[in-house]
Amino acid sequence: MAEHGEKHEETLMEKIAEKIHDHDSSSSSSSDDEDNKPSESLIKAKVFRLFGREKPVHQVFGGGKPADIFLWRNKKISAGALVVATVIWVLFELLEYHLLTLVCHLSILALAILFLWSNATTFINKSPPRIPEVQIPKEPVLEFAQALRFEINRAFAHLRDIASGRDLKKFLSVIAGLWVLSIVGSWCNFLTLFYIVFVLLHTVPVLYEKYEDKVDPFAEKAMHEIKKQYAVFDAKVLSKIPRGPLKEKKKD
């Protein structure tokens, strides 16, 4: 009996030791996993993103209703906006409608329908149509004007900084962009250009958000090649061009 009790105590102690060992191994593995998490996060942080962005595409567009429309979060509103833009482009570009003519024709049609409807209700004993009072609110107009003023002033400041001769790379990029825009403007008028940009805003961002894992590596290679070619161009051409004197920094 004594030997049997001793064997039972030994087996019990072995089970307790195994449980303690299992707990230690599981805790060490969990700690190892926690140690690996920062390294994984660092690897993810080093992933190249197009234009150097650090936020999701939705937040890049402001994260509000415009972002929802451009990224097709609400398919009905996005499709409706695209259809309206297409109808406007067809009316003014293909059918060659003029803005003043279209506004006058729509106003004549709306006023005629409402006038006839209001007079017909007296003969058929029905209530006249309720025409709502339309008023433009003051605060949104002022906010839009202030935002537009801020953006225009910032654009003027950028143009002034570029014209001062401080950054040759920025100057060449702006000149190239304006030259490309002038070529595109010679191909089509402003309305067609606006419609093309509108369609691109409704297609390119949502496609990029869907395939960004495939686009970003390709963009990284392209940016690396562009920087390489620019370094060669800078060493052979740009570095030999005399630049304007830089303004002295103001002393603190």
H/E element holding 181?
helix 168-187
- 112 against 244, higher pLDDT: 112
Locus of tokens 């040759």: 168
Q: Which carries the bigger pLDDT value, residue 168 or residue 92?
A: 92
What tokens appear for 74 in the block?
Answer: 């609400």
* Higher-scoring residue by pLDDT: 247, 55: 55
Distance separating alpha carbons of residues 122 and 132, to the nearest angstrom: 20
Q: In this predicted model, what pLDDT tens digit does every residue of 168-190 receive, in sequence order? A: 778 888 898 889 888 888 888 88
Q: Given this model, what pLDDT does residue 11 score? A: 58
Nearest to 193 by CA among 180, 206, 205: 180
Residue 42 has pLDDT above 50, yes or no: no
Please tell me the distance from the alpha carbon of residue 39 to that of residue 61, in angstroms, as a whole number.
30
Cα 126 from Cα 185, distance rounded (Å) = 55
The span from the CA of 82 to the CA of 76, in Å, is 10
| Contact of 243 with 165, CB cutoff 8 Å | yes
Q: Is the pLDDT of residue 250 over 90?
A: no
Tokens 């419609």 found at:
195
Average pLDDT, stretch 92-96? 86
Ordered by start, the domain boundaries in the chain are 136-187
Arithmetic mean of pLDDT over the chain: 77
User: What is the Cα 161 distance to its own chain's centre?
Assistant: 26
Return the top range by mean pLDDT from 30-39, 87-96, 218-227, 235-244: 87-96
Q: Using pLDDT thresholds of 50, 70 and 90, give the confidence band for residue 4.
A: very low
What mean pLDDT do residues 188-196 have? 87
Q: How many CA atoms lie within 13 A of 151 on its CB side?
A: 6
What are the tokens at 147? 């935002």
Q: What is the pLDDT of residue 50?
A: 64
